[in-house]
Every structure is written in C-alpha cells, then in structure tokens.
A and B are shown apart, each in its own frame.
Chain A
C-alpha cells in the first residue's frame, strides 16, 4: 500500500495543495471539518445502539446530557463531535452501559467503536492525520540537558527561569510553552554566563601536570610511599618526577589536615624544598615556601615556588616539623584511629611558563582545535573560529549551520576580538553567546524530508498523504528529546547526515536505551510527570499528623523520599533496558530498593545506598507501582491519605477512564462530619458522600480504587488500622479504625486487596492500561494533545504491543515509527532552511 502511494507521489502532491486550499474556508473548525457531525439517520442509530443505550439516552431520555435523537439532529451544535468522542470512549472503556445494566458482547462493543471511528470520525488507516505540533521551545529540563551536552555546564534552569506552563500533564506541549519578555532576558543572561564559564576567556595557559599525593616517599626518594604524617615526629616527604619539556616551571604542592573538624591545637611547620642539581652534580637545597599547618589557624594550603627544569628529573621535598608541645599525649588520648593527619593531596607542575607551550584548561570540547599559534594571522584566526563555530552551532541547532550564518558569526567574532584588550577567545565567546540565544537553538524547528529522499523511506514506516515526512535531523531531535530529554549525540547526527536514520532507527533506539545516564534524564522527564515522581521531594507532608502524633519527622527522612523517586524511575528503566512487558509496572513481584527504603517498607536484608532489584515474597504487601511510596505519597494530602486523589490518579494515568460529564453545579455538602460521622472511617464518609447522585457519577469511579490503597498511609507505609488522632483541646481522642480495602471496579471486577486490584489491572484491564500508557507517552513524545483523529495511530500501536506481550521497547519503537511522530502536516509551500 505504501509502495503504491509513493509511486503516486506527484499526483498526491497536487491533490494536497488543492485540498489545503479548500481547507482554508473551514480552517477554524480544525478537525471537526473532517468528521461527519450532522444529519445522521436516527433509525440507523436506533438499530445499532437502541437495545443498550436508548433506555437512558433515547426516546426522550437525555441522561448525563446525551440524547441520541438530539445528536442525530445536530442539536448539540459545536459540541456534537465531543459527544461522539465521549460515547466512543465510554463504550471502549466499558464504563457504559453502566455495570448494573445488561452488557453487550465484547464483539458488539468493538463493532460500535469501529463504526464510530469509520462513519463518524471518518478515520482511515491509510490517511492518518499527523496533527499539528506547534513549534516547541526547549523546556527548562531540556534546556539544562542541552546546555550540559554542549558545554558541560549546569545551567540549572529550573532554579533560574520562570516555570514552564504545562498542558495534558506534560511540559513538552509546544502550544503552551510561551516565551515571555522576562524569559528572553533570562536566555540572554544565561547564554552570557554559560559561555563565560565554559571556555577560558582569558586565553590559554601553560600546561599543567598533576600528580596525586601518593607519589611522595617517606624521608628519601627511595623510601616507602607516604602521603600522610602524624603530628608526632619530624619527617620529610620526597617526590621525584621527570618532566617532558624543560624550562621555567611553577610548582604547587597542595596539603590539607585530616580531621580538620576537631579542636586540637596540633600544629607543624612545613617547608617546600627544591633539591637542585648543579652542573657539578652536587645537590643544592633551595627553600621555596613554608607554612604553618595548624588545626586552629590553617587546615589546608598550597606550597608553591618557581623552579627551572632541565633534562634531569625534578626532586622536591616537604619537611614536616610538629611544633605542639604535648603532641604525644594528645595523640595517645585519642582512641579513634588517627584523626590528626597532615596529608599531601596533589602536586601540579605548571610550565614551561615562557609561553612556548600553551593549552586550554577547560572548554577543550568547544575549542577543540586548540589555542591559535602565537604568530597566527587574521586568516588563521578566522579559519579556526569558523571551525569552532561550525561544530558548536551544528550541535546547538541540531542540524548543520548554513554558510551565510556561519560567515556572519565568524565576522562578528572577528570584530569582537579586534576591540582593544580583546583576544581570539573573546571573539569566539561573542559568537557562541549568539548561538545560545538564537531561536534556532531555543526552538525545535523542523523540516520536511526533501522530495529526492522520499524514496529512501523503508517500507515498514507508515506514511500518509495528509503529511510530509520530516527530515532525518528533525527525526533525530524528536527521538533524542523523547528518550534522552536532550539533543542528539554525534552518532545520531552522523546517521541523520547520511540520511540513514529511518533505516537504522531500531538499532539506534536500542543503542540510546543503553546509554544509562542519558536515559535517566529522559525517563525522569516522562515518569517524573506521568507518575509524578518529580514531586516526591517537594510534596508537603506533616509526618507527625500522618502518624497521629505517634512518630516524628525523623521517621521520614529525605533519603527515603529520594529512594522512593528512584524506586519508580529505576523500575521503569529496568523494563526499558530489559524490554519487559509494561504490565509489570502494575503487578511486578519485584521492586527496587536500597537500605533506607527497605527499612521504611519493613523489608529485611537489603544493604547499601544503591538501588537494587529485590524479589518480593508471595505474602508481601507490595506489588507494582500502586504500592510504590512515590505514588502513594504524591496522591496524599499533607496530613492524611486521599482516596479520591488516588482513585483519580489511577483513572487518569493508568486506566485512562473518561470522566463522565460533571454535574451542572457541585452542591455544597450539607452533611457535616458531626454526630455519628465523627467516629466514621474515611470509607464511611466517602460512602455518605456518594449517596448524593450528583457526586456518585464521578466518585463511584474514583473512590473504590482509592479506597483499595487505604492500607498505605500518606507516606506509603503499610497499615491495617486508620490511626485515630489523640485528644486535643477538648475534642475526644478518635479510635483507630480497621481498614477495609475491598471493592468493585466500575467494570464489575471484584477485589479484596490492592494486590488483587493490581492483578486485575494488569490482566483483565490490560487493554485499558496499554491504551492509557500509549496515549500518555504519545502526548509526551509528540508535544501535543491527542484528538479522536489519533485513534488509528493509537490502535495500531496497541495492536503491535499486544502481538509482543506488551513489551516496553515495542511500545517505544511503535511510537517512533508512527505517522504523527515521523510526519508534519502538509503545509503551503514553505522555504527550506538555507
């Protein structure tokens, strides 16, 4: 099919230009223009939906604000298509018809869904609308990561820039990522600061060679290796090094005192000496520097001096003479192993200082072609500048920079370095700052694939006449910001440059997933927002009240919070790296713990600070993310659990269950927690709440799910009692109340514990989970919300998932190959980047 389409390409283009011109007239209505929204034969609806739906939604009934007659007549106006969307979602999620009504066969449901997609939404698997992603600017996290990859500098944008607005639960949504004047100023200031830190503006310096303290020997060059001395006896420490280039050198010997936090008055005089060999081979000792090492006055320092080096090895020594009077007694008094130590940390040889050899101390990734020769003329400087800028801008713009802009930047650099007091590096810095403030850096501008390259698209990539495939550089950026939260690396850029990214996409994705530290960033971005692990550290918690004044803040230290965040993100990365089924997120019989979290969960036998995989025993209270501390914590209020928030979290983020139309006005709850209710458990209070039909429509969906998690308190600890608060200012003490985690899902499945609920979600409701996670990941990856016209794409991805046990990499690869990910909408002819 795709082959045929491609052969037809020229005529398709003509058609599309025509169609897009026609499209102008109803451009405002967006997708609605595509779908059939009015004049549907009511009798055909009755035949199809009558038996199951018309009892409430037909023959005069309009429950929940839906009547099929009105829908058929177009009586909902602009709302028509959203009514159909909601029918489509509810039928698919089996939330309609309600569980207490007769249920249609699954095959009939599927027929309804297919009919709506085909006849109402007019979806066609061969004509997938790629949808419009509004030009995305780098969000704070992407900016920080991109700067890190470019310069090794931590821009810390989350601290320095105003918060990004989010949409659909993610901060990658192009349409809401605004640039305010304040933000633009921040970008300029940030570019300035980053470049100043990233490259040595004051120019290259003589080479430095560094050796560690363990190059020293006790009392003689051939003595035992020794870098530390006790404050007992006088000693010398000797070092002998062969230095390659002879000449004048500066030496710097760095020392420090171990146990510097102690109050001892131990002290010693230290001297740096140079054992100079004269022409007559006689050793002459030159004292270069001295200092007092004293726990009271000076606990670290540098001994330095100037030496000249010939072809013989350089011999230095440091003499150490303790000066405290009762050195020994103090040392003996202390039973701990030797806290008072004088230690040489490292020594640097800087030179030759005559300027013949110079190098950059930092920024060599950017100034890769080294310092210019001393006698370099303007042409050479221009050439070197252009090389630096070409490489940097290509990384920063995520595609090769065009010749005119490069020439312009080179010229700007030249002008900058020609100013009085300025040098080559100032010129380069000026141009680098411009690159980092350019909209080509800050926005992710995309380009369609050139017409000559269309034929190179491998057959397994779906195409669509409604879109233009994006070029390889655009695709490389989409993939790398999706998986890594940062820019493409050199290999991706190279493959894109060769026009082979689609061909090699699978192996590139596998390679990318293997890059642990970059993947951590990407997973942190997606999971951080989808499962809200980003909030674990900041969510306010009043530990004392959570524990009903039977514990304190120290029961919930930050190490536990950090481990909770890591638990969930590590689990996700494990599924990704090992290509495990995604449903394991819901009911895995293993998790990732370190000693802090294991202790907090009451799981024994886990040691160390590192997160490690731990198998959970069959009788464990923990199974999958529903029992992860992170999820339980971020869905709680500061003082107590919130079954409503927890239920909503599961519906929104795991099941994707549509919310029913909200009641026209949420009434005040007249019934207060007084009298009988004062002794009520949270479950009983919520049950009371649900008796009001207004509340029931939503809360029947949320509450049973949230109540199943009541066995975990607001900081994620297991409990079988809801703790009552102690007596307070005349209010009597509340009793502890037993917890009942049993419940029934909207779709009818019964469960008696969260472990059972997790299994139901991972098995019977697996399709819902597949769909929900696919949709979340698509939104995150595409940077836009989904509409019904994405249904075909989502269906195709789910079909691939189902065919492969729902494996994580299958999901990622299916998303990356999908039409919306690899295409942009057809547009009127746009200029190509130069």
Chain B
C-alpha cells in the first residue's frame, strides 16, 4: 500500500533536495543554501509534522469510548479498525471546548464546533459583518516554522459541494467550512479537489514531467508579480480601511508566491512522487477521503510542508453514506433522540470514519524517512470532533484520538482519561510547543497537556 516509490526513498530528505538543486539549477552558493545544508548535516532527527483531522457531528460515545483506562484499555466496536495501530495511538477523553458553548449567542453549535476546534476561541456571532474568532493552532505553528518548508501549511477538505443559503443559525458559513484561521478575521480556505492540490504541490503532468512544469509555473508567476504589486498599490491609494484589508489579502498571496520562488532557489525543485496525478473528486466518498489522505501524506513525507489540516466534512454535514448503506443524512441522524436505530446508524458512520483514519495511519506508517523511522513516528496527529453527542450538542467529553509522535518519545497504547472538562486548548498548547514554537497560552488553555 506504499504509493511512494521506495527506490527513490532518499530523495525525501533535505540533503537530497540540495543535491538535486545543485545538479539541476547550478545555483551559486548562497548563504542561505549553506546555512540549510549545515542544518541538515547537524540535525540527526527528522523534523516533526503536525496534522489535524476533523470529523463532524460528534459520535455515538457508547460504542466509541474505549473500555478501561491506561494501558489496559480495549477498543470499542466503532474504533476496532484502529487496533493494529494500538501502539502508535492513544485515546484522550475528557477534553472540552468551552468557547463552543452557547453563552449568550443562541443556537449554532455546529458553526461553533468547527470554528473553535483549532482556535479555542469564541466566534463572534454574525452572518457576515465582523467575522472574528482566533488564530488556529496549526496556523500558529505554520506562521512560526512555515519558512522552513516550501509551503507553510496545507488545508484540505472533503466537502466537494457546499449547500446554498444561510449556514448555521445566523453564523456565517466561514465558521462552518474552515477550521484553519490565519488571523482572527481571515480563514484559510481548504481545497477539496485532490487533483488541484496535487498539482499545486508537485507540478502538473505525469511522473517525470512535473519538476520542469513546476519550474515553468514559477517562472510564469515570477514574471507577473511586479506588475500586480503596482496595480494593488495603485488601487490601495483609493481605498478605505476595510477595503485595504481585502487588498492586503491579495498582497499576502503575492508575497507567498514570492516566498515560494525564493524557496525554490533554496530547496531546488520539488520531489516528483511516483504517484499518479489524481483525476479530480471521485464519486465515492471513501475514495475521496483516501485520495486526500494520500496527497496529504505525500506533502508531509516530502517535507513540502509540516503542517496540515483535513476536514473529512464540515460540522453539521448532512451527507449520506451509500458505501455502508446508511441513506440518512448524518446531521439528521445525529439528532438521535435516543432512538436505538439511529444510534446504531451513527455507530456505523463512526466506524466508517475510523476506518479512514486507520487508512491514514497505515499510509503514514508505510512512508519511511531517512532515519528509518516512519512518517507517523514523526507526526503529531489529532483526530477528533468539536461535538461529543450530536443530540445534545455538548462540547465536553470530546472524542479525540492522538496518534504518532514516537520520535519524541510519546507512547501509544493507552487511554488517557483526563479530568472532566480539561480544555482542548491544553492539547493544542502542548503540540504547538512540541512543534518547537514557544507560547505561554493558547485560546482558553490553563496548562499544557502532558503526553508523556
């Protein structure tokens, strides 16, 4: 199941990047080049990766919650497919997102569940004016270490088509469809088409052509930057404050492209994975999720980025599941009113989602890095939902699984039962620090959550 070409295994390392760049571009020996070459020699350990996977609408905890605590736990039926990965994962129960609760904001728990999941901040209730939440954990890390990789971060979603009309109870759709936030007002929109993601990461065309296509694209981009910057400045002079913010977003994009071009000089051409370019969004939801997981793993193993988020679906998603013969909408079912049949169907959906997580863990496990350890060992991965029980819309007792991190000595094979209502922000804070970023607080954190 390893899609990545093993014979080409070494090409994923930084050293190999540099060698490749030296061969193909014959760059002058820039100081930046020397610096990173030096860094690559001296640092024996692989860089850590951070990855968040969001699953919507809560779960049926009865069949989800592990049986027993500590290292003596047993997998419950919904998570059974994860059993082969027992040693590289742990269940963390007792986490809470306090800011997702109603406070004085009325209905809208799905919007809040998604918006708080990585920000641990309360979204300002609005349909569009003054969108405001917090910087998300992944972006906090990306903003600090993003310069070290070709892309600061990668945002993915498996929601192909969005429904029209208003979103959850007076909250803008921005809260429900984005979990990554670059700043309090700016969501980072995820991509759902695996083909465009792949081509953006590695270049278009088939294996063997991508490096040159990628380089050509960058040359084209480089040629337009100056003009576009001048155009923006020209327009900027005529704009008020709010409008300038929009133009700033445009300029940020321009800067990002420039950064990438600079990085190409530093890192050389991207790795060209021996993996077929995906052909768009597949009919089957399972295939879609797996393709996205493949592409995400490739991005991480090639060190194209070290930070990624994947929304399997937005919170409140009413998708139905033909693959497992559950025709009802997920959101509709999640309001189970304790009906046995509905609860059973939710458990089937939870099982289905866990199987996809198992696939992701398989994939990450099979990607070996230079050090001989696996991608999973060098990744801090969190899988979870911002709601516990879809009927009660409660944001405590969240279903959360942590996986990976072996290279930092994080042990798997346990059910870590926390004190009730431990802020999820504590977990974020811990992971932010483990990614090498110093923060005293994050969202409503009260302490770091020890993973030892």
Binding site for B on A (CB under 8 A): 79, 132, 134-135, 137, 159-160, 162-163, 165-169, 173-186, 188-189, 192, 405, 408, 412, 430, 433-434, 437-440, 442-443, 445, 447, 528-530, 532, 534-535, 538-540, 542, 544-545, 634, 637-640, 642, 652-653, 659, 661-662, 664-666, 668-674, 731, 784-785, 827-828, 830-834
Contacts and interface: CB of A to CB of B under 8 A. Distances in A.
Contacts of B392: 668
A545 B250 contact: no
Contacts of B254: 184
A652 B170 CA distance: 11
24 contacts: A135-B243, A165-B178, A180-B253, A181-B252, A182-B191, A182-B200, A184-B254, A184-B257, A186-B196, A433-B224, A437-B228, A438-B231, A443-B250, A535-B163, A535-B165, A544-B327, A637-B318, A638-B327, A659-B106, A664-B102, A668-B392, A672-B339, A731-B341, A785-B126
Contact of A134 (B169, B242, B393): B242
Interface in B160-192: 161-167, 169-170, 172-174, 177-178, 186-192
Given A176-B128, A176-B172, A827 B327 contact: no
Contact of B328 (A639, A670, A834): A639
Given A661-B106, A664-B102, A673 B339 contact: yes
Contacts of A184: 250, 253-254, 256-257
B253 A163 contact: no
Interface string B104-125: 1011010000000000000000
Interface in B337-359: 337-339, 341
A159 B177 CA distance: 17
Contacts of B191: 162, 182
A134 B235 contact: no
A513 to B, nearest CB: 23
A134 B391 CA distance: 38
B163 A167 contact: no
Contacts of B143: none
A582 to B, nearest CB: 19
Nearest to B338: A672
A165 B327 contact: no
Contacts of B257: 181, 184-185, 188
Chain B CB count within 10 A is highest, among A175, A177, A440, A637, for: A175
Contact of A830 (B102, B127, B237, B341): B237
B129 A178 contact: no
Which 7 residue pairs spanning A and B have beta carbons closest together? Answer: A167-B128, A542-B327, A184-B253, A662-B106, A135-B243, A181-B256, A165-B174
B129 A784 contact: yes
B172 A166 contact: yes
Contacts of B245: 134
A182 B257 CA distance: 9
A559 B273 CA distance: 42
Contacts of B246: 134-135, 137, 174, 177-179, 443
Contacts of B227: 408, 412, 434, 438
B238 A445 contact: yes
Given A178-B249, A443-B235, A188 B128 contact: no
Contacts of B217: 189
Given A638-B318, A666-B107, A784 B253 contact: no
A135 B242 contact: yes
Contacts of A192: 220
Contacts of A528: 164
B131 interface: yes
Contacts of A189: 217
B164 A529 contact: yes
Given A178-B249, A182-B200, A830 B329 contact: no
A696 to B, nearest CB: 15
Contacts of B159: 163
Interface range on chain B (Cβ under 8 Å from partner): 35 or more
B21 interface: no
A430 B227 CA distance: 12
Given A168-B128, A184-B250, A439-B231, A447 B238 contact: yes
A593 to B, nearest CB: 23
A532 B327 contact: no
A784 B128 CA distance: 8
B247 interface: yes
Contact of B320 (A159, A180, A638): A638
A639 B338 CA distance: 18
Contacts of B332: 637-640, 642
Contact of A165 (B129, B172, B220, B280): B172
A178 B186 contact: yes
Chain A CB count within 10 A is highest, among B170, B178, B224, B245, for: B224
Contacts of B409: none
A665 B192 CA distance: 34
Given A167-B127, A180-B189, 12 more contacts: A134-B245, A166-B167, A178-B187, A181-B257, A184-B254, A447-B238, A532-B163, A538-B163, A539-B163, A638-B329, A666-B102, A785-B128
Contact of A540 (B104, B224, B242, B329): B329
A217 to B, nearest CB: 47
A662 B107 contact: yes
Nearest to A159: B193
A832 B238 contact: yes
B44 interface: no
Contacts of B166: 168-169, 652
B319 interface: yes
Given A439-B247, A673-B337, A182 B318 contact: no
A439 B319 contact: no
Given A179-B250, A438-B228, A831-B237, A163 B162 contact: yes
B232 interface: yes
A437 B224 CA distance: 9
B43 interface: no
B239 interface: yes
Contact of A167 (B174, B200, B234, B338): B174
A201 to B, nearest CB: 14
B28 interface: no
Nearest to A191: B224
Contacts of B223: 430
B261 to A, nearest CB: 12
A135 B166 CA distance: 21
Nearest to A165: B174
A535 B319 contact: no
Contacts of A405: 231, 234
Chain A CB count within 10 A is highest, among B106, B109, B231, B393, for: B231
Given A137-B246, A666-B107, A637 B329 contact: yes
B240 interface: yes
A664 B106 CA distance: 7
B100 to A, nearest CB: 13
Contacts of B129: 167, 175, 784-785
Contacts of B130: 175
Contacts of B186: 178, 180
Nearest to B175: A165
B2 interface: no
A175 B238 contact: no
Given A181-B252, A412-B227, A830 B240 contact: yes
B216 to A, nearest CB: 10
Interface string B192-207: 1100100010000000
Interface string B212-228: 00000100110110011
Given A434-B224, A443-B246, A638-B327, A831 B238 contact: yes
Nearest to A189: B217
A672 B337 contact: yes
Chain A CB count within 10 A is highest, among B173, B246, B256, for: B246
B137 to A, nearest CB: 18
A267 B100 CA distance: 72
Contact of B329 (A179, A529, A639, A668): A639
A401 B275 CA distance: 46
